[in-house]
Each structure stands twice: as structure tokens, then as C-alpha cells.
A = this chain, B = another copy of it.
Amino acid sequence: MMIIMKANATPQQTEAVIAQIKEMGLAVHLSQGVEATIIGAIGETHNIPTERFESFDGVELVQRITQPYKLASRQFHPEDSLIPVDGFNVGGNEIAVIAGPCSVESRSQIIETAIAVKEAGACALRGGVFKPRTSPYAFQGLGEEGLELLAEAREKTGLPIVVEIMSQVQLDMMLKYVDVFQVGARNMQNFNLLRALGETRTPVLLKRGLSASVEELLMSAEYILAGGNQRVMLCERGIRTFETSTRNTTDINSIPVLKNLTHLPVILDPSHSTGHANYVAAVARAAIAAGADGIIVEVHPDPAKAVSDGKQSLKPEAFAAMVKQVGQIAQIMGRGVASVQGQYSPVKQGWA
């Protein structure tokens, strides 16, 4: 970390900064130039916010050289991390295709969807039972009843289940059912929840917040990793911009940027990142072409009847066509599409 002093900073101001650096157990490297005095703080600086020095009198700016995260960083862990789910890993040569409805609505809906997405080539089933809805009057999910239906669908198809958790209060109960926890965009900086998930060994699919930077996404991953849970997948799901022709703006750049900065797998959610069923396949193909490790897609047997996200949900036929295209792009990228054997045999999960 470099602290650049103002041209007119006094020696006392420079000394105050140096004293603070030493108090933190770091080494100091002083460089007195003509235009500016630069103070280097050397050692374990990833855990020091730049603001710690920005409020000192005489400081012009503080520049971080090393990243503010460590466990998530590819510098620290050069090889790709593989996240074992159930018979397949996320992050390796196989593309994960996760699919299912926005919300679990009924027994027939989730079973029918599970069978359809399995046949079309999905390797995991998604379905929400606690729904973060903008309106207090909107459907809020089936709760534990929905989890039981998901477990039944898993039983029938062998597909492991991916379910959103909204609060650490739900953790104990959900651990009994869930193969992969999803943390939604609105909870990406719910630090209490992240810390709680860090104490489990269940994989976490961590979605980028609506206006979170790539670096903030990695910092949130760091919360989970720091707790000891290494099974974290990141998920680009579109960011909020001025453009209104789609629900969100898919930040496709984030795929190569994240693959460069971190060893964690990166998934893309084209349903939320576009908000329109018509655009999902194009963006799913783009994701794989850009190097993503998988996609998570909303599928509903009858989107017009969906209680939520119908507009962006694919019908099973459209989903099947998309999986074929994604498979072809994966091949160009030297990869395949992950599949499950129909026999559910999860890896060891639950509390650490």
C-alpha cells in the first residue's frame, strides 16, 4: 500500500502516517521525490482499508498495490478450484447447467419441471422457497414445504438442488435439504449470512449484487472462505445501469475479469441478467464463449401461470434447444456439459 503525501505536507504529517504504519506491524519504505513523498506500507496489507490512511492530514491519496482479498485471489491459489456437488464438479472441464422455476409453486409444477430439465440436460435443479420480493404483498414462497417438494423432485430425478437462503435464521433447517445454497443479489453484502455460510461445508452460489463491483463480489466471497468454507461459486446476474430495454445489463466482461482475478468458478444467470425469455439463449451462449463455468436458467412448464419471473422463464422445449447450443459452444471451448447419473449421492456437506 502506498500513501502519497500532498506536495505541501509537513514533516509532522508524514511522521504521523509512518507512526501509524509501524503501529500496525508493517514495514515502511520512504521515497522522497521532488513532486511528492511516497510512503510504502509493506507486509500483510490486504486487510487494511485504504480509508484507514485517507483521513490523515496531508495525505493526497492512498493506492493499494495488492488486492484487498487473499483467499479468493488467484495470486494466492493459481489453480482453478473445483467445487464438488454430486457426481460432478463445478469449475473444471464440465459446464454446469442449473435450471428450474423461480419459485416452487406446487408438487406437480416442480416435479414436472425437474423431469423436463433433467431430460434436456441440466445437472442441478433450482427453485426458490423463500422469495425476496420488492413488494410485501407479493408471493413470499412456500418455505419448508417447498423444500420437501424439492427433495422429492431430487429423489425422482437424481438432480441435486440449489436453493436461495435469505437469512442465517433459516440455515439450520435448510441444511437438512439443500445441496447448494444460493445467496441472492440483494443479500450479497448481508455479512451475517455470509459468515454463517462460512461455517458450513455446503457449496454456495454467490450472486453479484445489483450494483456491486467485481471487487466487492470477491470481498463477499472472502467472508465465506475466511470462515473455512472453500466451496464458493460466483454468479454474474446482471448489473443495474441506465439501459431499460432489458431488466439488467449482463456484464459479460466480468467473466474473463473474474477468471483472471480468482480461482473460484464463475456462473452466469441469463434469465435475470436479461429479464426476457427471448434473449436468454443468446446470452447463455455468450457466457460459455466468454469462458463461464456454467449457467443457471429459469424454466417453467407454463410461464404465463408462474407466480414470479414468468416473463424471463423458458418453456422446457426452448430450454432443451438452448442446452444443445450451449453444448456446441462448450465443445469449441474444449469442454463438455456436466451430467448426473440419476442416482443422488451428495458429497459431505452441512456444518464444518
Tell me the A residues contacting B by CB distance below 8 Å: 2, 4, 16, 27, 29, 31, 33-36, 38, 40, 42, 46-49, 51-52, 54-57, 60-61, 63, 65-66, 68-69, 132-138, 140, 166-169, 186-187, 189-195, 209-211, 213-216, 219-220, 222-223, 226, 238-246, 249-257, 260-261, 273-274, 277-279, 282-283, 285-291, 303-304, 306-311, 313, 325, 328-329, 332
Contact = CB atoms under 8 A, between A and B. Distances in A.
The 7 closest A-B pairs by CB, nearest first: A55-B310, A47-B137, A211-B211, A31-B31, A289-B289, A286-B286, A256-B282
Contact of A245 (B2, B46, B215, B332): B215
Interface of A is mostly: mixed
B283 A253 contact: yes
A51 B240 contact: no
Give how many copies assemble into the complex: 4
Contacts of A239: 241-243, 249
Contacts of A246: 253, 257
Given A169-B169, A325-B332, A279 B257 contact: yes
A54 B311 contact: yes
B191 A166 contact: yes
A71 to B, nearest CB: 9
Nearest to A252: B252
A234 B195 CA distance: 28
A54 B311 CA distance: 6
A33 B240 CA distance: 35
B222 A136 contact: yes
15 contacts: A2-B38, A34-B42, A46-B137, A47-B135, A47-B138, A48-B137, A54-B310, A55-B310, A136-B226, A213-B242, A245-B253, A256-B279, A256-B283, A257-B279, A286-B286
Contacts of A35: 40, 42, 65-66
A97 B70 CA distance: 39
Nearest to A327: B332
A282 B290 contact: yes
A297 B52 CA distance: 19
